[in-house]
């Protein structure tokens, strides 16, 4: 069973994602966080297979939350799920330590594949252009 922590301040989005994920027999959203600080606390304290993390949280950015999670759990897969276009942030968050980036508009087509990819040790970006940018040294 893939145990997922989902951090997003929008309760409707949390419900949509949870309902969508839980159609998969081997996935469960076992926790959620409305803030970056709570996401960090839960990610560091409990045992997760992957964190789904929004970029815009009310108390701090998703990138700052990602950095904090990396300090306590450097190998925990983190997939950024954001309303911002992948072309704008995909390569940046991969370089910052995320395992993948998925624009919320791509959830129906790609969410399950993205979760499976990052939990299997792969990086996930849906566009080849974003992959090339992520592979370019800073």
Calculate the dihedral angle through the C-alpha atoms of 15, 52, 61, 47, rounding to the nearest 10 degrees. 110
* 18 token code pair: 């949870």
Q: Tell me which residue range forms the domain holding 83.
A: 2-135
pLDDT tens digits, the chain, 138 residues: what are they?
Answer: 999 999 999 999 999 999 999 999 999 999 999 999 999 999 999 999 999 999 999 999 999 999 999 999 999 999 999 999 888 888 889 999 999 999 999 988 999 999 999 999 999 998 644 444 445 555
How many domains does the chain contain in total? Answer: 1
CATH number, domain at 130? 3.40.50.2300
- Is 33 within 8 Å of 3 (Cβ atoms)? no
Query: Which residues have C-beta within 8 Å of that of residue 78, sequence separation ≥ 6?
Result: 50, 51, 53, 66, 69, 70, 97, 98, 99, 100, 118
Full-model pTM: 0.90
């Amino acid at each position: 069973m893939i145990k997922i922590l989902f951090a997003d301040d929008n309760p409707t989005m949390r419900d949509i994602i949870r309902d969508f994920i839980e159609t998969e027999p081997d996935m469960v959203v076992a926790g959620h966080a409305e803030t970056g600080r709570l996401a960090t606390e839960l990610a560091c304290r409990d045992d997760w297979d992957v964190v789904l993390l929004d970029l815009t949280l009310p108390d701090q950015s998703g990138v700052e939350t990602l950095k904090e999670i990396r300090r306590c759990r450097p190998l925990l897969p983190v997939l950024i799920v954001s309303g911002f276009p992948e072309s704008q942030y995909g390569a940046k968050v991969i370089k910052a330590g995320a395992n993948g980036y998925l624009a919320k508009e791509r959830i129906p087509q790609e969410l399950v594949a993205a979760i499976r990819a990052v939990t299997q040790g792969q990086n996930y970006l849906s566009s080849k252009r974003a992959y090339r940018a992520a592979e370019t040294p800073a």
